């Protein structure tokens, strides 16, 4: 019985690594005011299916306005993506937003690089993404406040399709344990 209880506790602890601090339907629900009220002054954000559809090359006018609102409020932004340099550079450069490509999320190295580049304490940085397996897990492991957004596209690339299946299993477990509704 004691061993079984220890295993259950360990599984629950592992599941919590996939639990974001916050859920939102869209990046646009995240405002400078809401971030500042939580003491957040910087954003690390995923690109594909978080900011725009994975196959959309450039930012939408609404997203450009969101970036401008954040920057005007003094909130720094860095894009951290597992995608190739060309994809991330072509998206980020016109916006003047720094980026890290081929990040290998959820590994810590890209999160450490982003925190260093932002030059802010981890407690002031939020990680925004659409995937539990990469964005939330990596952000939580790095000690960041994590926000999970609903993916902006209903389609995904090959690797992400696999991750989505795993996410459904994890979300079902988190619901069963009462961590989410």
| 5, part of any domain | no
* Residue 50 CA, distance from chain mean position: 8
* Residue 146 or residue 3, greater confidence: 146
Tens digits of per-residue pLDDT, 125-148? 999 999 998 999 999 999 999 999
| 62, part of any domain | yes
Give the phi and the psi of residue 165 in degrees, each rounded to 5. Answer: -65, -45
Reported as a pLDDT band with limits 50, 70 and 90, residue 6 is: very low
Residue 42: name the closest of 151, 138, 140, 116 by CA. 116
Res. 4: pLDDT tops 50: no
**Start-to-end CA span in the chain (Å):** 29
| 44, part of any domain | yes
Cα 46-48-49 angle, rounded to 5 deg: 100
Query: How many structural domains does the chain have?
Result: 1
| 76, part of any domain | yes
- CATH number of the domain where residue 118 is located: 3.40.50.1000
| 89, part of any domain | yes
| 127, part of any domain | yes
Reported as a pLDDT band with limits 50, 70 and 90, residue 165 is: confident
Range of the structural domain that residue 149 is part of: 17-153
Residue 53: both structure tokens together: 């559809």
Res. 5: pLDDT tops 70: no
* Residue 160 or residue 25, greater confidence: 25
Note the pLDDT of residue 66: 98
Res. 7: pLDDT tops 60: no
* Residue 32 or residue 178, greater confidence: 32
Tens digits of per-residue pLDDT, 86-121? 999 999 999 999 999 999 999 999 999 999 999 999
What does pTM read for this prediction? Answer: 0.84
Note the pLDDT of residue 1: 45
| 181, part of any domain | no
Note the pLDDT of residue 172: 74
Tens digits of per-residue pLDDT, 39-83? 999 999 999 999 999 889 999 999 999 999 999 999 999 999 999
| 1, part of any domain | no
Res. 161: pLDDT tops 70: no
CB atoms within 10 A of CB 77: 20
């Amino acid at each position: 019985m004691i061993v079984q209880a220890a295993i259950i506790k360990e599984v629950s602890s592992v599941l919590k690594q996939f639990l974001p601090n916050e859920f939102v339907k869209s990046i646009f629900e995240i405002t400078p005011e809401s971030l500042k009220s939580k003491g957040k002054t910087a954003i690390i954000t995923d690109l594909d299916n978080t900011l725009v559809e994975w196959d959309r090359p450039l930012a939408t006018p609404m997203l450009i306005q969101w970036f401008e609102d954040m920057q005007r409020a003094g909130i720094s932004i860095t894009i951290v993506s597992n995608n190739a340099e060309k994809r991330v550079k072509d998206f980020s450069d016109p916006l003047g937003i720094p980026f890290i490509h081929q990040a290998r999320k959820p590994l810590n190295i890209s999160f450490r690089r982003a925190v260093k580049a932002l030059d802010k304490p981890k407690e002031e940085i939020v990680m925004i993404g659409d995937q539990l397996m990469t964005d939330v897990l990596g952000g939580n492991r790095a000690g960041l406040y994590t926000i999970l957004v609903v993916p902006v596209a209903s389609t995904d690339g090959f690797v992400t399709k696999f991750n989505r299946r795993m996410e459904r299993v994890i979300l079902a477990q988190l619901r069963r344990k009462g961590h989410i509704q």
